[in-house]
Structure 1
Amino acid sequence: MDSATLQAFVTVADSASFSEAAQRLFLTQSAISKRIALLEGQLNCRLFDRIGRHVSLTEAGRQLLPKARDILLALQDAERLVSNLTTGVKGRLSIAASHHISLHRLPPVLKHFSQTFPEVELDLNFDESELAYERVLRGELELALITLSPHPDPRICAEVIWDDRLCYVVSTQHPLAFDCAPTLQKLNHYPAILPRRQTFTHECVRQQLLEYGLEPQLRMSTNYLDTIRMMVSIGLGWSVLPETLLDASLVRLELNTEPLFRPLGYIYHRDRTLSNAAGELVKCLQAEQRLSPQPQLAT
């Protein structure tokens, strides 16, 4: 059993496809099949069921998968540990960032980082926060810049860089735009446009509504906040948006609620040794945190 066969096994399991795994690993499909057959022969058990084009893990495969991930992470960690001693700040750095952070928070940090460390090749993925979180857990990414989970996994190290103030907003023509004393209860009589239920941001908003005994009347969902801003501006519903996205097409409602914030920051796997490049990017983010204005709470 070697790292190449384990990597093939994990990639097939993640993609549920031999052909997709071959593309991801830049191998032929027959090479992937041979590696899986070799691993199954060494373990004397079948790891995948193949019914037509559908590929699924057997019970043995499901038991092996977390162990295989741990072994690959340990090998990668050992390589980084030695490499950090012998190389400078260079090489490939795989990170992910949410669309909102990529557009509205990250550009000055990446500009400074790339100018300071020109030998680092940034592999930047634009992922939803929840997907990036899982990819860090699986060891596919060194760092992710996301909306932090309200229920962190103990295997994840997380640090807040920005406190994102969230505001309840409506269009300039919405009935509550002319209300001198709007409340959350009044707002909830109208349809809402929010990120989908499984997102960290939706959970943050939903929790505040539940504290007032309210259930949002969802009209539609999308995870792109800029799209939500557009749909609110044309009167399709109300929403909760970061303060940094507000413009003249929206009216910010001052409701009878506590200020709402969502933490934005970076995460990495607790058992992973960061590369020199990742360590320097973390320092850049921490410097950004010191420069960022602190949120002002209502009194």
Structure 2
Amino acid sequence: MEIRQLKYFIEVAKREHMTEAADVLHVAQSAVSRQISNLEAELGVSLFIRQGRKVRLTPIGRMFLDRTIQAMKMLDNATREVKEQLDPSRGTIRVSFPISLAAYIIPTAISAFREQYPEAKFQLKQATYHELIDLVLDGDYNMAILGPVPEHDERLYGHVLFTEKMVALVPINHHLAREPVLKLKQLKGESFILLPEKMKLREMITSACREQGFNPNVAFEGDDVDALKGLVSAGLGISVLPDSTVLENFPRATVKIPIVDPVVPRTVGIITAKDRKLLPTEELFFAFLKTFFSKWSASYS
């Protein structure tokens, strides 16, 4: 069994088409067909059901695909680890993160890290909260930065980098704009502008409002935090956001006001899988983040 055969197998399973897989692999279709046939002969089973030019996995093929993907991830990690042991400062850091950290927290941390390690490379992926957890558990990424940090998942290690509070963002001409602080109850009846349902940040805000005896009246939804800010600046409603999202970047036509009753906290940190260790360059970045945010939290608070 050859690595090349496994790569061909994964691509054909993904495309469900020999010719399309061959195009992606930049080889002849006959070469792909031959390697798949050789693999099936070696295993003694059929991995695909042929349907003209298309194929689909047999039940055994689906099982073998899952195992093969995991094996290839382990092989890729092993190859990267060998290279990074020689010089971790020049390796690649693969990290995933949510929308709410994309505008300020992640760029700030990466920029500071690159000042110390300019030859380090990054592969970044933005995803929703629950997708981030799955990406780490499935081995697609070894680490994710997210908020809040899961507390009771026995499959993950969670390290809190800092804790932040929620603030209200209101149009500058809003009747609450001159308030120094706000109680969450004061937002009852306001038109809320929030992320879509099933987003973790939306869940946190909705839950906090319900604990205060009301459901937020969601007038508009935006797919990212900048969209929410833009809608608030247009006077279409108010939003509740983590403070880190409006530290340096919020429209002039808006005002941010701390919410103090109750304080709605959000932990932000790193998750890693308990059954897998970080690669050397990832370890370097992990240690840097802990130091960086301990200093950042002290100045931020």
Range class of TM-score, shorter chain: 0.7 to 0.9
How many angstroms apart in 1 are the aligned matches of 2:180 and 2:119?
A: 56
The structure that has the greater radius of gyration is 2
User: Could you tell me which amino acid in structure 1 is paired with residue 123 of structure 2?
Assistant: D
RMSD: 3.9
Over 3 Å counting, the alpha-carbon distance change for 1:176 and 1:87 in structure 2 is closer
In structure 1, the partner of 2:115 is: 115
In structure 1, the partner of 2:296 is: 292
- Following superposition, the deviation at residue 50 of structure 1 comes to 6.3
1:91-147 CA deviation, whole Å, 9 max, x = no partner? 333333445434312344323432333333333344455444433333233433333
- Following superposition, the deviation at residue 287 of structure 1 comes to 0.9
How many angstroms apart in 1 are the aligned matches of 2:106 and 2:22?
A: 33
User: SS of the residue aligned with 1:136?
Assistant: helix
2:167 corresponds to 1:167: yes
User: SS of the residue aligned with 1:106?
Assistant: helix
2:140 corresponds to 1:136: no
Q: Which moved more, 1:181-190 or 1:268-277?
A: 181-190
Over 3 Å counting, the alpha-carbon distance change for 1:195 and 1:272 in structure 2 is same
**Counterparts in 2 of 1:156-195, with a 5 A limit?**
156-177=156-177, 184-185=184-185, 187-195=187-195
- Following superposition, the deviation at residue 149 of structure 1 comes to 5.2
In structure 2, the partner of 1:220 is: 220
Tell me which of 263, 266, 272 is aligned to 1:268.
Answer: 272
2:105 corresponds to 1:101: no
User: SS of the residue aligned with 1:292?
Assistant: helix
1:212-265 CA deviation, whole Å, 9 max, x = no partner? 343333333223111101101222222211224156533445667321122222
How many angstroms apart in 2 are the aligned matches of 1:248 and 1:70?
A: 49
In structure 1, the partner of 2:287 is: 283
Q: Which moved more, 1:9-18 or 1:255-264?
A: 9-18
- Following superposition, the deviation at residue 208 of structure 1 comes to 1.5
Q: Which moved more, 1:113-122 or 1:40-49?
A: 40-49
Q: Which moved more, 1:269-278 or 1:168-177?
A: 168-177
Tell me if the contact between 1:171 and 1:177 (Cα under 8 Å) persists in the aligned partners. Answer: yes
Over 3 Å counting, the alpha-carbon distance change for 1:139 and 1:175 in structure 2 is same
- Following superposition, the deviation at residue 65 of structure 1 comes to 4.2
User: SS of the residue aligned with 2:190?
Assistant: coil
How many angstroms apart in 2 are the aligned matches of 1:82 and 1:187?
A: 55
User: SS of the residue aligned with 2:75?
Assistant: helix
TM-score (norm 1): 0.75
Over 3 Å counting, the alpha-carbon distance change for 1:220 and 1:34 in structure 2 is farther
How many angstroms apart in 2 are the aligned matches of 1:232 and 1:276?
A: 43
Over 3 Å counting, the alpha-carbon distance change for 1:225 and 1:283 in structure 2 is same
How many angstroms apart in 2 are the aligned matches of 1:230 and 1:223?
A: 12
User: SS of the residue aligned with 2:270?
Assistant: strand
Q: Which moved more, 1:151-160 or 1:9-18?
A: 9-18
TM-score (norm 2): 0.75
User: SS of the residue aligned with 2:216?
Assistant: coil
Over 3 Å counting, the alpha-carbon distance change for 1:85 and 1:277 in structure 2 is closer
- Following superposition, the deviation at residue 165 of structure 1 comes to 2.0
In structure 1, the partner of 2:254 is: 250
How many angstroms apart in 2 are the aligned matches of 1:175 and 1:20?
A: 59
| Gapped regions of structure 1 (runs ≥ 5) | none
The aligned length equals 294
Percent identical residues:
23
| Gapped regions of structure 2 (runs ≥ 5) | none
Over 3 Å counting, the alpha-carbon distance change for 1:18 and 1:273 in structure 2 is farther
Q: Which moved more, 1:214-223 or 1:202-211?
A: 214-223
Tell me if the contact between 2:8 and 2:35 (Cα under 8 Å) persists in the aligned partners. Answer: yes
